[in-house]
Amino acid sequence: MRIPGIPGFDQQAFEKYFKNTGWLMSARVGSLAIKFLINTFALSSYLGTRQFGILNYPTALIAFFLAIAALGLDGFVTRELLNDPNKKNILLGTSFWMRLVAGFAVIPLVYVAYNLANHLKPLETPFYYVFIVSFAAAIQSVNIIDSFFQAKVQAKKIMYINVVGNVVSAVIKLCFILLKLPLIWFVYSLLFDAALIAAGYIITYQHSGNNIYQWKFDRSVATYLIKHSWPLAFSAILVSLYMKIDQVMIPIYLKTSELGVYSTVANLSESWYFIPVAIVTSVFPAIMNARNTDTIRYKKRLQNMYDLMVVISMSIAIFMTFASKFIYHIAYARHPEFWSGAPVLAVHVWAGIFVFLGSASGQYLIAEGYTKIAMLRTGVGAVVNILLNILWLPKYGILGAAYATLAAYGIATFFIVFIPKTREQGLLMLRSLFLISLFRKILKH
């Protein structure tokens, strides 16, 4: 079957990268269905709002430290592998050891962060729950292999890892539910999930004719990577901060049961975020190629990508807004304590538009070397989210957290409009957001 052409992309190149996106989509869609049925609906129904909130708190808190331990290497190493594939073993080996050391180093920081939060208000989640999950930071050092597969445009392998990992994880959680096991088993399952994915990467890498035992650590390469990736690392930390800070703050201002409800909202809303990542990751090589060969085509491809992001994300937001009440009343027919999540989801899902555009413009910032601007805009988003949660959580509850997320994502995404050298990209996104660019294309046809 021939894939329809899209203006701005060469047909042959587009088909190649679309197929790569398709594999990524397949992996995430499979994961999406499983998570909805088991990890979100079945698990939350079994545990109830309070215990589900307790279970989700470690994940929210650890998110910051996972970002720290990743050191911003993933995207940068992908670019380096594209530029010099012969340095594969040195780049992957050096990155792995850097991430492994960082993974263990953040564990004491987790203890400090937990105690700071616990000082503001005694938390219902015990520290040893958080401590168990914190070891995921070290385990995920193996996931640097993902950068290798991305550079090789081998999304099919990533699909296998994600699908198998998520299916096994879901089956195990389902067994725990059927056996009526206590909460601690599900806490350990969070760590097991990270180990399962890591094992999948190692096995797939080895079966692809590669060998992790050939990896080498190079101090000069480590210095080079840190020097160039630290803005991305700091940016990733800030991204995790403004994406997860609401879930960390809810137990401080509200009850843990409210976090349980809000976690279902976040899971349903954020489950769509795989789409921009899959698309952008797949077409990034084509965009980089256009940047080096044809400036006009480069701008067209960026505009087309922004248009596509808005069309998809806005369609999802409209659908979820009208469907949110039905989703909660059907999925939680026997658990009406979760129904309060419906109006919150109807607000939270609109933040996805800015996430989609932010993912696309983020690749532009990387391509142009504006990593510090990427860091700055996510920092602004993090500050806005924290301040608005402080103001709105006590007053509006978890609905206030949803509005804070929406405002923070929007401000962070369009912050580049206020910077002269990135203003043009901000205006391109505004044209897409208000459907100006799309209507012009329709009228031309």
What's the pLDDT score for residue 366?
A: 75
* Averaged pLDDT in 10-residue chunks for the chain of 445 residues: 44 53 59 75 93 94 90 81 82 92 94 93 94 94 86 73 85 94 96 93 89 89 85 78 89 94 93 82 73 79 90 95 95 93 97 94 82 85 94 96 96 94 93 85 69
Q: Per the domain annotation, does 172 fall within a domain?
A: yes
Q: Per the domain annotation, does 2 fall within a domain?
A: no
Q: Per the domain annotation, does 196 fall within a domain?
A: yes
Q: Per the domain annotation, does 1 fall within a domain?
A: no
Q: Number of folded domains in the chain?
A: 1
What's the pLDDT score for residue 71?
A: 86
What's the pLDDT score for residue 1?
A: 39
Q: Per the domain annotation, does 305 fall within a domain?
A: yes
What's the pLDDT score for residue 27?
A: 59
Centroid of chain to Cα 335: 29
Per-residue model confidence as pLDDT tens digits over 267-310: 999 888 878 877 887 777 777 777 777 778 888 888 888 999 99
Residue 217 φ/ψ, nearest 5 degrees: -95, 130
Q: Per the domain annotation, does 401 fall within a domain?
A: yes
Q: Per the domain annotation, does 348 fall within a domain?
A: yes
Q: Per the domain annotation, does 358 fall within a domain?
A: yes
What's the pLDDT score for residue 413?
A: 94
How far are the Cα atoms of 90, 116, 224, 239, 399 from residue 254, in angstroms, in the given order?
48, 17, 45, 23, 12
What's the pLDDT score for residue 61?
A: 93
What's the pLDDT score for residue 166?
A: 83
What's the pLDDT score for residue 7?
A: 47
How far is it, in rounded angstroms, from Cα 323 to Cα 275?
20
Per-residue model confidence as pLDDT tens digits over 20-64: 555 555 655 666 677 778 888 899 999 999 999 999 999 999 998
Residue 247 sits in which domain range?
11-444
Q: Is 152 within 8 Å of 205 (Cβ atoms)?
A: no
233-248 in b/e burial notation, b at 16+ Cβ within 10 A?
bbbbbbbbbbbbbbbb
How far is it, in rounded angstroms, from Cα 334 to Cα 245?
30
